[in-house]
Structure 1
């Protein structure tokens, strides 16, 4: 089985990528991390000796795929190959794939027993899924490939399943499907509404964009087609490894007893979002601005990992995953490289490069048809404000709350909800927001009642004013 080495400038980032990847499969390939340098003052960097030792640790006759983030990681990996025993070096492949998406795809593919070249190809194709979701026009050719099924013989066996998973066949259930169907002596195709994908490719499965309520069909033919169909049916009945709430077949009617209304004083929270401080730079300032950017990103990633740990203690691992994902997104090497390109080519300062890339991402989310994905633009702006705060040396803004209150605001970022999860906050009322946002999901997990889309509430409510939040009528009465 092919094993993986993750090389990054940040030890925390590499360990986070490895942890996320290992959750995709059970008893899968081995992952070694070679990240950071042994310098407490300046720990960001790569070390060729660490890379060499990591490769030796997971060396296997099937080969080792090395995943890397920024430029000098490649230099360290190339130096490591020169230091290795030639016999070991000959079965090592350096991947040009994106670190996060590529590693996830590589681990799933390697764990299915694929060859080193197949694992590398799957890793390199990982970015196409994100591209198709954020910019469908740019990846039309990739989407058309999924529409073309290989010849499915008339004798093929088929099994259909209506997906009930709340978020469809996202990366974790897709990985479970790929792993469950690996090893069978059979040809297979997965179909959704006339679009086809290989069940062994997490990238292609994700490209099908299977949502809750979609019908998924497995076609299989060959010596072990029956066994493959049986494995698919068993996994599908287990909802691809995800626990779903039990739904009774019988619907009973009755009268709802509404929760008690909350009476408390208003605290109006009006944080000032940091603006982009644009400034042209000279060629001699490019390296300095890149360093500022990387330091802000590293500090933000550290904070997000700490926040994920706090959230896990308060609300559990599922809610903590929100901030772990924030950390992975901000540390994504493709994103960082795009920011660095803006600094180098357009001679933008660090703030401008960060702002333009993340706001472009937020706009792409807002343009999506899927309402669940569309509200993720709030998460991107949350990350942006955190990184800007480090670049501009600003402290986070939070209200001082000493008495029970109903917190009123235009909107709240997910990280602000966690910061405000305290006994005195009895309820939250937002002028904007969505019930699908991570802010609302976190508030619900923290047992803080929240009302969203209360138009003009921040215009009419004032701090100290008494108010009643009535759940039966979904109204806030100001007195």
Structure 2
């Protein structure tokens, strides 16, 4: 067990930190002691090394003790206390430079979940990063988890808590999942984190309406998923009433409020000019398809490079996955065989093969994998555009506007000029699609599933997009 000591110049401040921390603690996973203020009624602000020593001794039964401090002289008092302690006890103590409030909360959650001293220290020291990332002053740590594509079982849950998975329910989740012998990953809009870390959970920015997915692999994976389901059905320890659940017009992807004119557009698909294919045209059609696939692969490589530059290598992997699918020799051979056997055009053969792949994704039970069907159609559209020699036109907004469309492909999103896009409203789509994931990474407010947004809006119309609630308010 790792115990925590809070050293502060102000007893009132320390009690406030303790009050917050106690809300994160359940059971006896760790102990929390305070050493705050000095015994002077007229000048109570200060720190006392003897108080710090006594606080450490009061939690000496822990295998490790983490000490967090507020101001510089608190560090001096803590260092003096270490010199006064018995050597065997002082050896178990680590002084931590983390911010007092954020660091204490993160440390308490990690300790209460059974983390070791090194893990608790790392959680405390990483606590400030949450606020920095949310304010745009930093980037998530390079150690962020990658989404497992094959291993493990998973369970999805749509968050109904009015304030999302904030600190208190996140701490409850970490505590419940900590005992299980399983590798655990929590996914939200394609971003992944350890559900045992309060810091990583906060960086996922899980809001009401988000669909999260717990992926578990290992001896106790089933038990972990069952515990997750039971906790989720209890709304992670919070009370959720029907009155607290707003009636959304769409599913939010990125929270923000923006106002401006609407710019409406329809998703592009090449016009199909099909012709009959004779036996003598088979080789020609196969060659047409081969060239189109090569050009599509080249496009995907360029999209990956652009994404890596604009957003990051993690998001660029989306188009790397597109390339892997496109370059599948079995898939390509199936299309070439279809051309030869059915005497159909390259367009027809490739479309039928990819539609089968997309249908396979749609038939899956997992919502995240269902959303991958859009990636297949994005590849299909690009290949057909090369076959028909109809380049995909970029979406160019002439002024900052709210983009309203029926559908937006991942390759469309990454080509947008972020400065011109105040927000995105789609009549269809999925919050788990790669288009949504890219929009979130680019910081573009987005709402999907806003039925009727195409028929009830017009270009140039003034509007206000409250993406946090999934509402588009129109002016008359």
Partner-residue secondary structure (3-state), 2:207: coil
Match of 2:314 in 1: none
Equivalent of 1:181 in 145, 152, 177: 177
1:154 Cα deviation after fit: 2.4
Match of 1:298 in 2: none
Match of 1:217 in 2: 213
CA distance in 2, matches of 1:88, 1:179: 28
CA distance in 2, matches of 1:48, 1:79: 6
**Deviations for 1:185-242, whole angstroms, at most 9, x for unmatched residues?**
0000000011000011000000000111001000000000001000100111111111
Does 2:11 align with 1:6?
Answer: no
Does 2:63 align with 1:62?
Answer: yes
Does 2:23 align with 1:20?
Answer: no
Change (3 A) 1:153 1:248: closer
1:145 Cα deviation after fit: 4.8
Partner-residue secondary structure (3-state), 2:98: coil
CA distance in 1, matches of 2:244, 2:216: 33
1:100 Cα deviation after fit: 0.2
Unpaired runs of at least 5, structure 2: 248-421, 424-465, 467-476
Partner-residue secondary structure (3-state), 1:73: helix
User: Per chain length, whose mean CA-contact separation is higher, i.e. which structure has more relative contact order (CA < 8 Å, sep 6+)?
Assistant: 2
Change (3 A) 1:85 1:245: same
1:63 Cα deviation after fit: 0.7
**Deviations for 1:115-143, whole angstroms, at most 9, x for unmatched residues?**
11110000000000011112x2x31253x
CA distance in 2, matches of 1:88, 1:174: 32
CA distance in 1, matches of 2:89, 2:106: 24
CA distance in 2, matches of 1:165, 1:3: 31
Change (3 A) 1:16 1:181: same
Change (3 A) 1:248 1:189: closer
Does 2:138 align with 1:139?
Answer: yes
Partner-residue secondary structure (3-state), 1:128: helix
CA distance in 2, matches of 1:43, 1:235: 44
1:85 Cα deviation after fit: 0.3
Does 2:73 align with 1:72?
Answer: yes
CA distance in 1, matches of 2:162, 2:243: 13
CA distance in 2, matches of 1:213, 1:206: 16
Match of 1:109 in 2: 110
Partner-residue secondary structure (3-state), 2:138: helix
Size of the aligned set, in residue pairs, is: 248
Match of 1:35 in 2: 36
Write out aligned runs for 1:223-234 (5 A). Answer: 223-234=219-230
CA distance in 1, matches of 2:234, 2:127: 26
Does 2:146 align with 1:149?
Answer: yes
Match of 2:364 in 1: none
1:60 Cα deviation after fit: 2.5
Does 2:51 align with 1:50?
Answer: yes
Change (3 A) 1:167 1:141: closer
Match of 1:349 in 2: none
The 8 Å contact of residues 182 and 200 in structure 1, kept in 2 or not, is answered as yes
1:22 Cα deviation after fit: 0.9
Match of 2:165 in 1: 169
1:247 Cα deviation after fit: 6.2
CA distance in 1, matches of 2:241, 2:221: 31
CA distance in 2, matches of 1:141, 1:69: 25
Match of 2:348 in 1: none
Match of 1:203 in 2: 199
Match of 1:362 in 2: none
**Deviations for 1:328-351, whole angstroms, at most 9, x for unmatched residues?**
xxxxxxxxxxxxxxxxxxxxxxxx
Change (3 A) 1:247 1:16: closer
The 8 Å contact of residues 153 and 221 in structure 1, kept in 2 or not, is answered as no
CA distance in 2, matches of 1:101, 1:29: 17
The 8 Å contact of residues 63 and 91 in structure 1, kept in 2 or not, is answered as yes
CA distance in 1, matches of 2:62, 2:23: 24
Partner-residue secondary structure (3-state), 1:121: helix
The 8 Å contact of residues 181 and 232 in structure 1, kept in 2 or not, is answered as yes
Match of 2:125 in 1: 124
Change (3 A) 1:192 1:104: same
Write out aligned runs for 1:285-304 (5 A). Answer: none
Does 2:232 align with 1:236?
Answer: yes
CA distance in 2, matches of 1:3, 1:72: 22
1:155 Cα deviation after fit: 4.1
Unpaired runs of at least 5, structure 1: 252-367, 370-435, 437-479
TM-score in terms of structure 2 length? 0.50
Write out aligned runs for 1:225-264 (5 A). Answer: 225-246=221-242
Change (3 A) 1:90 1:160: same
CA distance in 1, matches of 2:108, 2:51: 21
Change (3 A) 1:130 1:248: closer
CA distance in 2, matches of 1:69, 1:17: 11
The 8 Å contact of residues 3 and 59 in structure 2, kept in 1 or not, is answered as yes
